[in-house]
Amino acid sequence: MAYLTVRDLSLGYDSHEIAGGLNFTVEPGDYLCVVGENGSGKTTLMKTLLHLRAPIGGEIRIGDGLLPNEIGYLPQQTVVQKDFPASVREVVLSGCTAGMGLRPFFTKEEKRRAAEAMERMGVAALAGRCYRDLSGGQQQRVLLARALCATRKILLLDEPVSGLDPVVTAELYELIGELNREGVTIIMVSHDVAAAVRYASHILHIGETVFFGTRDEYRNSAIGRRFLSQRGEAEP
């Protein structure tokens, strides 16, 4: 059974529908990119998958042993988050809080998990530094380490490369690709459709036309060809 099975999902605010007719599945090990025009509802979909918003209609079933608190989330960064006055270690450890209940301290096991996640993301040497003093790329690595503290099953990433320069962007895409190859299931919102068809196994395109399929099916679809060529990424 799939981690996520989405049927006839309709999204929006105050019963005003922003996107509808969404049908897709996410299997363990998949790398799903969610693409579409600005304002088409990609971030709203992430929040709905996380149960932070109720859907207007349809259903989201989770399965294959996945628990709701095993979905890691890397939200789109706001200016306030970029300025967060905590150390890298504290930011990463805060990813462990889902399992903490009312306990006001971290266990040895949680500290070990945080150290391992920082190591994996190449930010262990920055552990004592203040988060807000880091570069944008370093901050994203720290947030990835934070999300990995919560889970290694599935990560939802909302525009993880926005505002980063091309070199740092490529490094981050590689890192996310490696995590996927290690078995972490990825759902990533991206405005960069070229990167989406390069890295993802599956594409969900939302907007007036909805598409879900493998990246090759997307490349060969009418909507995929149109969207790629609009963005100057026409496929040969």
Phi, psi for residue 212 in degrees, rounded to 5: -140, 130
Residues 134, 142 contacting (CB under 8 angstroms): yes
Phi, psi for residue 91 in degrees, rounded to 5: -65, -45
List residues near ligand ADP by CB under 6 A: 13, 18, 36, 38-44
Tokens 């609009």 appear where?
230
Choose between 49 and 143: whose C-beta lies nearer to ligand ADP: 49
Q: How many CB atoms lie within 10 A of CB 127?
A: 19
Q: CA 203 to CA 206: how far, in whole Å?
A: 10
Nearest Cα to 128, choosing from 71, 90, 85? 90
For the bound state, the minimum distance from the C-beta of residue 9 to ligand ADP, rounded and expressed in Å, comes to: 13
For the bound state, the minimum distance from the C-beta of residue 116 to ligand ADP, rounded and expressed in Å, comes to: 32
Choose between 44 and 151: whose C-beta lies nearer to ligand ADP: 44
Choose between 19 and 150: whose C-beta lies nearer to ligand ADP: 19
Choose between 17 and 165: whose C-beta lies nearer to ligand ADP: 17
Nearest Cα to 89, choosing from 14, 24, 145? 145
For the bound state, the minimum distance from the C-beta of residue 41 to ligand ADP, rounded and expressed in Å, comes to: 4
Choose between 5 and 43: whose C-beta lies nearer to ligand ADP: 43
User: Quick one: CA dihedral 173, 50, 87, 106, positive or negative?
Assistant: negative
What's the number of CA atoms in the CB half-sphere (13 Å) around residue 211? 22
For the bound state, the minimum distance from the C-beta of residue 81 to ligand ADP, rounded and expressed in Å, comes to: 16
For the bound state, the minimum distance from the C-beta of residue 121 to ligand ADP, rounded and expressed in Å, comes to: 25
226, containing H or E segment: helix 222-230
Q: CA 57 to CA 85: how far, in whole Å?
A: 39
Choose between 40 and 169: whose C-beta lies nearer to ligand ADP: 40
Rg (CA), the chain: 18
Choose between 38 and 68: whose C-beta lies nearer to ligand ADP: 38
For the bound state, the minimum distance from the C-beta of residue 22 to ligand ADP, rounded and expressed in Å, comes to: 12
For the bound state, the minimum distance from the C-beta of residue 56 to ligand ADP, rounded and expressed in Å, comes to: 12
Q: How many CB atoms lie within 10 A of CB 78?
A: 9
